[in-house]
Chains A and B, each alone.
Chain A
């Protein structure tokens, strides 16, 4: 299993600003995943972050909008840049040390 600490747990931000979300895992993992969950919707994968290489982004997500860092095997950050109200969502960090995925508590972002 894996325990994930994600912060902040929630934030209210002004449009045009950026927010960096941190994800700390209690064990070393090769890949970390970042998801977005828009209000009333399912989870959509934003990108996969490997240590020592650039993140791999899914269709519809770009590095300029969602830059990701992965400085070591237990930590990653996701930045939501130049925010607009459409970015209001829950952002979740996830790891998959084995078969199943484990998730952080999520960051509830409201952009006003």
Chain B
């Protein structure tokens, strides 16, 4: 079985500051890893994903994440926060391969951006 741990249920940054949201996973087989964003009163939107290949993946809105197998981590970063980045962020993991494998979500990190 797989699991996801997001460190920090709430992260607050100033506009223009670095955003770092932490995600550690547990999986017995090579995982697929995802970051989703949820804006208020909306569904989840995919930010980026890691499947295979390059371990540094770039997503939408200037976000990127690096898959570090040795650390079992997939932290999300953005060099400069915008007010529009304020949202809930979810890290998710599933077993690589067929599409019917269960997707497991972390508890989420609420990002606040201060002017």
Contact = CB atoms under 8 A, between A and B. Distances in A.
A12 interface: no
B84 interface: no
B103 interface: yes
Interface residues of A, number: 23
Given A42-B107, A42-B108, A100-B34, A105 B43 contact: yes
Contacts of B45: 103
Interface of A: 4, 6, 30-31, 33, 41-43, 45, 48, 92, 96-106, 108
Contact of B99 (A4, A92, A96, A108): A96
Interface residues of B, number: 21
Contacts of B34: 100-101
Nearest to B99: A96
Given A31-B99, A45-B102, A105 B107 contact: no
Contacts of A31: 99-100
B32 A99 contact: yes
Given A42-B107, A100-B34, A108 B49 contact: no
A2 to B, nearest CB: 11
A102 B92 CA distance: 13
Contact of A104 (B43, B49, B100, B108): B43
Nearest to B46: A100
